[in-house]
Amino acid sequence: MTAVRSPQPRRRRAPASARHRAGIAILMVVTAIALCLVLVNDFGTRTQVDKLGARNNLDQVRAHFLARSGLNLADLMLRLQKKIEQFEDQIGPIQITTYADTFVAAFGGDAEQVESAVGVSFGETKGMGVSFGTFGLRMTPIDGKINVNCAASLAASNQRVVRSALQGLLYPNAFDPVFEEEDGEGWRRDRATQIDAIMDYIDKDQDRGEQRAGAEDYGYENLKDRYKPKNNAIDSVAELKLVRGVDARFWALFGTAFRTLGACEVNLRVADDPKILLAVIQLAAKVPEQVDLGNAWQLAQLWLQAVQLGLVQPTNDEFRAFVADPKTALAPPVGEGGGATPTGTGATTTPTLTIPPNLVGIELLRDRLNAIAKAGPARVYEVEVYGEVTRGGALNPLRRTIRGTWDQEFQMQESRVAKKFPPGKNKGTWLYLREE
């Protein structure tokens, strides 16, 4: 017998209005979810930006104080250098600032630098190195450069020193294209005109050149941005860029040869530019008009090489003797037996220099040399200190740099620091500091 299946009830379709309401609800839910996703994404982006901003601020503060730590160590080393110079007659000249970067590496270097500086691993020391970055410094004595502010001196001898130094600086034939072509503003000049422009921008008179040939007229007031010459000592070397003819090419070649602080004399102990030494030779020569500048140029270069190798001491007397007779000054030392020092196995060899066969000595007058050059402790230093924070991932290291100028002879005035030193012992301070 076949079973009879009961009929299934027919499903009733929802009214159209109900279906419409259900579609709207789904749309609203999807829209709400989309809005939430947008808000969450925006919140996450803002949070990430704030996090990176806070991280940058933290790293900038860290880098700043790392640089300040290096600056404090620089202050310590400069004062220690001045203390050592008081005993120079007993122990000889010692320039500890030359090793400033090595000294600071023990305190502000990474693990490898600390171990190299003190011979102890980073983990076995306290107070050495920095775990989140590094700091370092560079000290450069600038007494061997040309003090252009001596052109503003009322003493004619100081002005002659500057002018002669500029003549030596611009002498080499390699610089001929600079004076055969127009400068960046279309102004043509030769070497003599360029030197007059520098001197007249700083000196306090209104006459042109050394011979007072008429009034100063270099067209400053005809430029697009008009101005007048300083006619006084300049505040920084960068002001020389306002002098007519001192364009980008001139500055790239000669900008590092100038200074604005310290004495007018060139310090032979720290002079490292043969062009400046050429000027010293020419000005101190017995007959300056008869000096062969090409020959003097070779003498200046040979002197710097001899100082670097330790064959001569950078004093006025040795410089004068070297320039007069370089062959005798560079002769090898004589042993006790009257012969040359042995150079066999185990013996200390003395470095030698090859003297050009056509090199001729130049006689320098002691009084003239002492008037334009000295060989003593450095007085003015340019200091560059940096603090760098190491950041992981895609973030580059963040660095802050402090540049400053220190004068060993500047007398500190009434201040919190000056009161810590006895009267007469508070010389030496920062003249200029800038952080960038």
User: Any idea what the CATH number is for the domain that residue 214 is in?
Assistant: 1.10.40
- Show the tokens assigned to 40: 């969450």
Q: Is residue 2 part of a domain?
A: no
In a domain, 98, yes or no: yes
Which of 257, 291, 316 represents a domain boundary (last residue)? 257
Specify the residue for token string 């390699």: 174
45 in a domain, yes or no? no
Domain ends where: 211, 226, 257? 257
Task: Identify whether residues 67 and 90 lie together within a single domain.
Answer: yes
User: At residue 137, does pLDDT exceed 70?
Assistant: yes
Residue 323 lies in a domain: yes
pLDDT at 324: 92
Pairing of strands 266-267, 373-374: parallel
Give the domain range for residue 280: 265-332+351-377
Query: Where are the extended beta strands (E) located within 221-264?
Result: 258-259
15-36 confidence digits (pLDDT tens): 656 656 667 778 888 888 888 8
Residue 330: name the closest of 295, 303, 296 by CA: 303
Q: In terms of domains, do 372 and 277 share one?
A: yes
How far, in Å, CA of 91 to CA of 86, rounded?
A: 10
* Residue 12 belongs to some domain of the structure: no
Integer CA distances (angstroms), 159 to 146, 151, 390, in order = 11, 5, 49
Last residue of a domain, one of 241, 257, 273: 257
Residues 293 and 394 in one domain: no
Same domain, 299 and 386: no
Residues 127 and 66 both lie in one domain = yes
Amino acid at 62: R
pLDDT at 422: 62
Label residues 9-25 b or e (16+ Cβ within 10 Å = b). eeeeeeeeeeeeeeeee
Strand-strand pairing, 133-141 and 380-389? antiparallel
| Inside any domain, residue 64 | yes
What does the pLDDT look like over 303-322, one tens digit per residue?
A: 999 998 888 888 999 999 99
Phi, psi of 273 (to 5 degrees): -115, 115
Domain assignment present for residue 200? The answer is yes
Whether 262 and 287 have beta carbons less than 8 Å apart is answered as no
| Counted domains in the chain | 3
For residue 162, give the nearest of 261, 255, 279, 72 by alpha carbon: 279
pTM: predicted TM-score of the whole model, two decimal places: 0.78
Whether 343 is in a domain gets the answer no
Decide: 394 and 327 in contact? Cβ < 8 Å. Answer: no
pLDDT tens for 166-204 read 888 887 788 889 898 888 888 888 888 999 999 999 988
